Amino acid sequence: MTLVDLGLGEVHFEVPAAATYNGGQLLTNLRAEGLSPDDVDLVLFTHMHRDHVGWTSDGAGGLMFPNARHVVDQKEWNHWQSGSDPVGPDPKTVLTPLTPAVTFFTALPPTPGIQALPTPGHTPGHTSFLITDPTTDENLLILGDAIHTRAQLENLDWVFRSDYDTRLAAEHRTDLLHRRSGSELIIADSHFSGGVFGRSGVSR
């Protein structure tokens, strides 16, 4: 069982002048599928903004998913090691429990059928994922925060306020959506309003 990103966690907090965040239902939804945290054997992080790493800790100093390999881009991990940032991973509940367990992406797929695509720009080590169905060859592209709104699908040069490097972010948005445009491509983006999944309609 693989999870891509760990949502907000069981928290409610506000980033001044940005947004109010309410925690999600990850554990409840896993339970509804008959799964427990022990069943998760791989956690892949697109990046380490606070709203993507929320369920990392079990609240008692350990990992919520103790049997899982936790994998992130090494540049991303290094970036968040110095100091505390209100939108970055909480040092106590995320970085500390992850430190003895974290591993980094290599040139090899993190697991068969999933490719990690380096897409820095939104953050220094942002990663998107391409998942291929072995029976149909259909592809699912998990964007992470490479794209924040549906409007950016048609305006790939539009920047999001929290992009770390706007030029790189725009380059990778374009590359991501054109890289696979010759094949069936389902995209997933957790920040799109009204639904996470859709089909890319970007033309070349």
CA–centroid distance for 120 within its chain? 12
* 172 is a site residue for Zn ion (CB under 5 A): no
Bridge partners, 71 (sequence order): 44, 103
One residue of 30, 49, 76, 125 binding Zn ion per CB under 5 A: 49
> What tokens were used for 78?
């290094």
Length of the chain: 204
For residue 144, the minimal CB distance to Zn ion (Å) is 7
The overall longest dimension of the chain from CA atoms, in Å, is 50
Closest separation in Å from C-beta 52 to Zn ion: 6
Start-to-end CA distance of the chain, whole Å, equals 35
Number of residues that bind Zn ion (CB under 5 A): 2
Looking at beta carbons only, is 49 or 70 nearer to Zn ion? 49
Cα 170 to Cα 102: distance, rounded to the nearest angstrom: 28
Within positions 9 to 48, which residues make up the interface with Zn ion, using CB under 5 A? none
**C-beta of 3 vs 37, nearer to Zn ion:** 3
* Per-residue interface string for the shown chain with Zn ion, residues 104-143, x marking contact by CB under 5 A: ----------------------------------------
Does 145 participate in binding Zn ion (rule CB under 5 A)? yes
Determine the Cα–Cα distance for residues 144 and 122; give it in Å rounded to an integer: 9
CB of 132 or CB of 190, closer to Zn ion: 190
Residues 127/73, Cβ–Cβ less than 8 Å: yes
User: Could you say whether residue 79 binds Zn ion (CB under 5 A)?
Assistant: no
**Which CB, 90 or 145, lies closer to Zn ion?**
145
Angle at the Cα of 71 from the Cα atoms of 33 and 90, rounded to 5 degrees: 90
Nearer to Zn ion, 37 or 76 (CB): 76
Q: By the criterion CB under 5 A, which residues form the site for Zn ion?
A: 49, 145
